[in-house]
Amino acid sequence: MTDRASFDSVAKRVMVTGGAGFLGSHLCDRLVEAGNEVLCVDNYFTGRRGNVAHLLDHGRFELMRHDVTFPLYVEVDEIYNLACPASPIHYQHDPVQTTKTSVHGAINMLGLAKRVNAKIFQASTSEVYGDPSVHPQTETYWGNVNPIGIRSCYDEGKRCAETLFFDYRRQHDLRIKVGRIFNTYGPRMHPDDGRVVSNFIVQALRGDPITIFGNGEQTRSFCYVDDLIDVIMALMATGDDVTGPVNMGNPGEFSMLELAETIVELTGSSSSLVFQPLPDDDPRQRCPDIGQAEKLLGWRPKVPLREGLEHTIAYFDALLSAPGR
C-alpha cells in the first residue's frame, strides 16, 4: 500500500520552526528518534547549524534557511512554531523584528497549517503574564503586561500570536496546541545567550564576577530541557479538543541569589557576586501552576534544579575548554 494513510502510520512529516535553536534542536532530536520526517526551519538569528549538525546526515532530517516572517509553502502534517529569539538581550536587539517574528510568523504558519490541514503547536511563554499579580500563575490569569515597555515586543507579540491561534481555531476549526513555556535551561544554550542560567554558569566557570540584576530577590522557576520536550510532545499528541493554553514549567521557585549560590557551589568557582541595575519591567516573581498539564497530560517535571544544573555545567565546561576557545 502506498496511500498517504499507510505512510502516515510510519512517519509524520513534522516541521519545527526555530529548529536550530536551543529548544528546537532538542525537539528535532526527539521527533527524529520517534520515527518522524523532520523539516527544521531557521534563519539562524540566535540558533546555529551546529545545534543540529549531528542530524544533517540523517535520512529523515532536512534543514532549511528561512525567515518565518515570509510565507512558506511545504507539505507537512504537524508544525511546531518555535521561531523567535527568547533571551531579553536578543529580542530587544531589533524589537520591531521580534514582534514581526511572533505576529507575521504566526500568521504565516497558521495560514500554512490551514492550507495543508496540519496540527500546529505554538511556543508561547510565561511572559504573557507579565509582572504577575497572581501567584503561582494559572492559565486563567490574564496577566499584567506593560504594552509600551522594552519587553513588550516579545510579550505582546506572543500574546497576539495566542490570539491568532485561538481565532484560527474559532474561525477555521484549526487544530491548535498552545504551550506557555516557563524559563527552561540545559545543554545547547548559547554561551552568549544572555539568559540567567547560561550567564551564571559561564561566569562561574571562567571565574568572572556573577552579575546579579537588582537585589537578586526576584524569582523564576527553572525547567530542565528534557522535561520540557516531554510536555510539548505530550500536548501535541492529545485529541483535537485539547487546545491549551497549558503552562509548561517546573514549579520549584528560586531567587536569583539562590541560583547564583547553587551554581557557585556546584562549579566550585571562586567567582564573586556583583550587583547591577535591574532592567525595566523585570518580573518580580514567576511560578507556574501546572495543574492543567498534570490533569490533561499526566505530566510532571522529573529533573530537580541541581541535577539539571549539573548536566548543563558539564556541557558548558566541555564547550569552554574545547580547543580554539
**Contact present, 178 and 162 (Cβ < 8 Å):** yes
- Considering only residues 203 to 222 of the shown chain, the ones binding ligand UDP according to CB under 6 A are 211-213, 218, 220
Q: Does 51 bind ligand UDP (CB under 6 A)?
A: no
Sign for the pseudo-dihedral over CA of 291, 292, 293, 299: positive
Q: Torsion angle, CA of 124/125/129/135, rounded to 10 degrees?
A: 130
Q: Does 186 bind ligand UDP (CB under 6 A)?
A: no
Q: Nearest CA to 83 among 138, 130, 40?
A: 40
Name the minimum Å distance from CB 231 to ligand NAD.
12
Q: Does 81 bind ligand UDP (CB under 6 A)?
A: no
Whether 168 is catalytic? no
Report the alpha-carbon distance of residue 229 to residue 247 in Å, rounded.
13
**Contact present, 261 and 200 (Cβ < 8 Å):** no
Report the alpha-carbon distance of residue 240 to residue 274 in Å, rounded.
49
Residues found near ligand NAD in the complex (CB under 6 A): 17-18, 20-24, 42-47, 67-69, 82-86, 101, 105, 123, 125, 181, 183-184
| Among 40, 196, 201, 223, interactor with ligand UDP by CB under 6 A | 196
- Considering only residues 232 to 261 of the shown chain, the ones binding ligand UDP according to CB under 6 A are 256
Stretch that binds ligand UDP, among 28-36, 158-166, 193-201, 296-304 (CB under 6 A): 193-201
> How many Å separate Cα 322 from the centre of its chain?
27
In the complex, residue closest to ligand NAD by CB? 47
Q: Does 195 bind ligand UDP (CB under 6 A)?
A: yes
Q: Does 262 bind ligand UDP (CB under 6 A)?
A: no
The beta strand positions in 117-166, using DSSP E, are: 119-125
Residues acting as catalytic residues: 154
